[in-house]
Structure 1
Amino acid sequence: MLYLIFILEQLQELCGYLKKHQARLINYGQRREIGKPIRSSRMEKGVDQVIGKRQKQRGKS
């Protein structure tokens, strides 16, 4: 029973977060409908650069 209460509280927190930040969330369905691309290549490149830099600092690469 306590676990169920915990889950409900977490769902309420998530719903609150989504409502609060709704204007900043990307609507992928809408982007697809108007023909805009959906990709994460910029983010992936940034992550790769950070990881590469860390590995070089540690002498792993």
Structure 2
Amino acid sequence: MFEGRIYGPITSEDLKNASIVVGKHEEAILTRETSRVPISLIKEGEGRSLTDLISLDKVYETLLR
């Protein structure tokens, strides 16, 4: 589980096509703030595709890089 807060609505299509990046991104479709580091889901561009991250372990691994 992640701890933190999530802001903003998101569609399943946006989520399917999203990439995850560390930090706050100005045009994020969703930003999650945790005590350690904020993460953002963005529509395209840099980051790692959520569909490539098939488990929470992979998400954590991406965030710790």
- TM-score of the superposition, structure 1-length normalised? 0.20
Identify the structure with the greater helix proportion.
1
TM-score (norm 2): 0.20
Larger Rg computed on CA atoms: 1
Q: Comparing both chains, which one has the higher relative contact order based on Cα–Cα distances under 8 Å and sequence gaps of 6 or more? A: 2
Larger strand proportion of the pair: 2
